[in-house]
Structure 1
Amino acid sequence: MSETTEPGVPPPARAVEVLRRKALRGPAYREFVRDIVRLKHARSYLEVGVQSGSTLALIDCPSIGVDPNFIFDRNPAGKKSVLHLYQMGSDEFFRDHDPRAIFGGPVDVAFLDGLHQFEYLLRDFINTEKVCGPASVILLDDCLPINLEMTERKHRPELRKDKAIAGWWTGDVWKVVEILREYRPDLRITPVDVVPTGSIVVSNLDPGSTRLSDAYFEIIDRFAAVELDAKSFETYWKANAPVAAATLTEDFSLSLRTRA
């Protein structure tokens, strides 16, 4: 979500006639990312969309952070022995740099939280999967919007009816979950209950797959004009009902079933 408002548990529900918030009650997303990195004993971590460094600072293993405009309000290095920072867009980063060469091996865990428009997240996923291993994990942020308003492609807080969370914006990155389910049924996709707007754990990766890149322009044409309405919002949530974060953090093997 946009970090205009510090994420956390949503304020108490108010009387908003046409909008009803979904309830996410799990841990903060950045704590979940940290726990996954630790449970996986990750040796390398990639984060796209760093901003203030609040998530990156929690990671202890060698890391790469990519953002076109760092606005650090803390030391992003934390306890890491190695941190590589690239102040550029993710397309430029993946064009000019190979994380496998930087780390000396594949990316173990990646957290994608870049621009909140689906075509950007889709490209980030395509490029990230290529530099991962089959047992790696990719985490997608902001794909469980808690109300319909925050799924708009352009953030217009002044037009929101639910004023208490008008600063929250997930954009239309929810489409990427639908795209992955349709075009990559081989992936394991696990929506997770973390605040404020969920996390999608993607495992069973195939770094050699070209299915998404081959169909990229077809996908963009098909999904560009798709929007959620009240009915399809409910359908999306039913299809992506999140599991409790503890389901994964207490038995991490559940998220790591890999291809034979």
Structure 2
Amino acid sequence: MDYLTALSLLHDALTPKSYVEIGCRQGRSLSLSRCPAIAIDPDFEIRCELRSATKLYRRTSDSFFANENLSELIGGAVDFAFVDGMHQSEFALRDILNIESHSSHDTIVVVDDILPQQMEWTTRERRTPAWTGDVYKVIPFLREYRQDLDIRVFDIDVKGLAIIANLNPADRSLQENLPKHEADLSGDVFAFSSIKELRSSLRPESIDSLREYIEVLRSHRSSSY
């Protein structure tokens, strides 16, 4: 299963009321949305048909969140989000935290590029055709500093993905010391020296587990509405 199939399953099961995508590029994942959507990318080139009302913002996510009110634009809390932006861990962290500040308890955030197949893919600057950067570091970081979050990593083809649930828009604990956290992420504090070590820490789950977890999310959301 690739990430597009996984996202399609999530869209079908969650039937979100709103969708936010950071890093939409050609629009392949964005085209899966069936609800009002916002997409943010400084260099998008949409080549797929978008099937829902979508607002496109050609800017970095940092610029977007500094100048726009996401909740006002989307008409409430973000229901479902996909983070696939800049492939450096501190950028991914800021994107997750910015989305969380506009979330509800039912919000689901999916993060791409979490499970590289080769350490050569994890450089902070792109040097290989396949590239995840060091986004994977955000998982052990959040598991250490935000143990209230429900974070699951799944062994999706090529680059894996993570699903984050149980968000809390009132939590500002990481923002209070963000420069230090970003320095730790960009350095070696949460780095691994091998794929074996990385996978051991991230504890990826199987595709079957992903399908089961999606059903749990669907049931939870159905009972809360």
TM over 0.5: yes
Unmatched segments (≥5 aa) in structure 2: none
- Residue among 119, 134, 153 paired with 2:105: 134
* 1:253 to partner: Cα distance: 5.2
Say if 2:14 and 2:217, in contact at 8 Å, map to a contact too.
no
* In 2: Cα distance, 1:172 partner to 1:239 partner: 14
Identity %: 31
1:61 deviates by 1.3
Give the gaps of 5 or more residues in structure 1. Answer: 1-26, 158-166
Q: CA deviation at 1:238?
A: 1.4
Contact 1:39 1:249 in 2 (8 A): no
Deviations 1:129-170 (A, max 9, x none): 11111111000100101111101111123xxxxxxxxx1000
Which residue of structure 2 aligns with residue 120 of structure 1? 91
Q: Give the drift of 1:36.
A: 0.9
1:224 match: 186
Q: Which amino acid aligns with 2:170?
A: G
Among residues 69, 87, 91, which one is paired with 1:98 in the alignment? Answer: 69
Q: Does 1:150 align with 2:121?
A: yes
Deviation at 1:239, TM superposition (A): 2.4
Task: Show the 5 A alignment for 1:36-115.
Answer: 36-75=10-49, 77-78=50-51, 80=52, 82-115=53-86
Contact 2:140 2:201 in 1 (8 A): no
Q: CA RMSD in A?
A: 1.8
Instruction: State how many pairs are aligned.
Output: 218
Aligned twin of 2:135: 173
Secondary structure at the residue paired with 2:105? strand
Match of 1:193 among 155, 158, 169: 155
> Please, which of 171, 175, 198 is the counterpart of residue 213 of structure 1?
175
The 8 Å contact of residues 110 and 138 in structure 1, kept in 2 or not, is answered as: yes
1:244 shift after superposition: 2.5
Structure showing greater Rg = 1
Q: CA deviation at 1:50?
A: 0.4
Relative contact order, higher structure (CA 8 A, sep 6+):
1
